[in-house]
Structure 1
Amino acid sequence: MKLPLIAAAQAQKHVTHNEALARLDALAHLCFLDRDLAAPPPAADGDTYLVAAGATGDWSGRDGAIAHVRDGAWQFLEAVEGLTAHVVDEDVFVVFTGGAWRVYAALLAPVATLAQGGFGSAVRFATLETQLSGLAGPHADTEPIIPDRAVVFGVSTRTVATVTGAASYDCGLAGETSKFGGSLGVAAGSSNAGVIGPTAFYADTAVRLTANGGSFTGGAVRIAVHCFLPGVPG
């Protein structure tokens, strides 16, 4: 965190020590009240902001800096690799990596290991996504997105381009066309969290969208499979 150190035989050691504590107080539990402001708002001691591009006023020339109020004045601090912060107005966590602040959730992998045994066995959870575009015909299938030996807890969908030719659609499997949701909305922005009782799959399996009230003539739907993946011992 680039805290200042007390030099050997330094006079007025409390100045350096207090500066280090003040920086630590600002950075160790970092909370940005906002990260989209280019002009400094009215603020009280302890308030902290991430300065947006095009900064003006007391923030001029401080684009991307951490702006912290101490003793009634703005103090500017630099981020270091791996620093994390909570953005209060968005209720998200961000991480400083690769020279930029990135939303933590966007850095997560599609498959996460939650526990692992000494022989390499593992408990993994996955969110596997795909998109079906240019829908046509009575139904449309994804690639085999559900993995062999997966335990599925649900399949969620979002219509990202208005589905045409059908009054609604079902989301399911070839033999269970509405397993994950029936009569789903064709308008862009419609969504469904198709939770089910945990269901085991013993082969790679495609998800199917089935048209209701006509055949698909267009549209796009994003699909996400939410599942558990066991990892066997090595």
Structure 2
Amino acid sequence: MTDDMTARLALPLLSAGQAQKEMSHNEALALLDLFVQPVVLAVGIDTPPATPAAGQCWIVGAAPTGVWAGHAQHLAGWTEGGWRFCIPKMGMRAWNLADADEALFDGSGWSVGILRGARLEIQGVQVVAVQQSAIAAPSGGTIADAEAREAISAILAALHTHGLIAA
């Protein structure tokens, strides 16, 4: 961190005796407005839009061009004063309007729509946890019960489809 900006979002700080403090304050507010709980129009865009509107944001792609050059993977937001950029930090999230899903920065890149966690609870009840080992499909036996086998096979197929057990 330098003495004139914050460590995480690089917001400008006021200094004692600084003239025109409103300039630094307004710049900090503009950056906060763009990059705190950001909503982006798209993820991985390399070419800046021709006619952005104030307040619109994007997640820059891996090979940016034009005024976005040198800002790969950054959040880019348009203000009436031009482009503002935010270097993402690990764990930063943005709502992606293009996919109606969340984008997450993992320290090296952005991923969209991937839910990460150790388990899923709904109203305090665990419904999904770590994937269990495979279950063998029914076959053979001395008494053939086609309906039971069909039902068990359908259950196994559903569990496989949902990723709850290995195939």
Preserved contact between residue 36 and residue 51 of structure 1 (Cα < 8 Å)? yes
Matched letter for residue 30 of structure 1: P
- Deviations for 1:5-41, whole angstroms, at most 9, x for unmatched residues? 2122322111111111011100123011011321112
Distance 1:129 1:17, change over 3 A: same
Distance 1:10 1:33, change over 3 A: same
Taking the aligned partners of 2:12 and 2:157, their CA distance within structure 1 comes to 60
Preserved contact between residue 89 and residue 107 of structure 2 (Cα < 8 Å)? no
Q: Structure 1 unaligned segments of length 5 or more: list them.
A: 116-121, 132-141, 145-173, 183-193, 195-206, 210-220, 227-234
Matched letter for residue 3 of structure 1: L
Preserved contact between residue 33 and residue 88 of structure 1 (Cα < 8 Å)? yes
**Counterpart check, 1:64 vs 2:73:** yes
Larger RCO (alpha carbons 8 Å, 6+ apart): 1
Greater fraction helix: 2
Distance 1:13 1:72, change over 3 A: closer
Distance 1:98 1:37, change over 3 A: closer
Tell me the percent identity. 27
Preserved contact between residue 130 and residue 224 of structure 1 (Cα < 8 Å)? no
Preserved contact between residue 52 and residue 63 of structure 1 (Cα < 8 Å)? yes
Taking the aligned partners of 1:49 and 1:32, their CA distance within structure 2 comes to 5
Taking the aligned partners of 2:67 and 2:121, their CA distance within structure 1 comes to 46
Counterpart of 1:41 in structure 2 is 49
Counterpart of 1:74 in structure 2 is 83
CA deviation after TM superposition for structure 1 residue 181, in Å: 7.7
Greater fraction strand: 1
RMSD: 3.3
Q: 3-state DSSP class of the match of 2:149?
A: coil
Taking the aligned partners of 2:135 and 2:56, their CA distance within structure 1 comes to 50
Preserved contact between residue 61 and residue 73 of structure 2 (Cα < 8 Å)? yes
Q: 3-state DSSP class of the match of 2:150?
A: coil
Counterpart of 1:143 in structure 2 is 135
Preserved contact between residue 130 and residue 222 of structure 1 (Cα < 8 Å)? no
Counterpart of 2:127 in structure 1 is 125
Q: 3-state DSSP class of the match of 1:95?
A: strand
**Counterpart check, 1:25 vs 2:17:** no
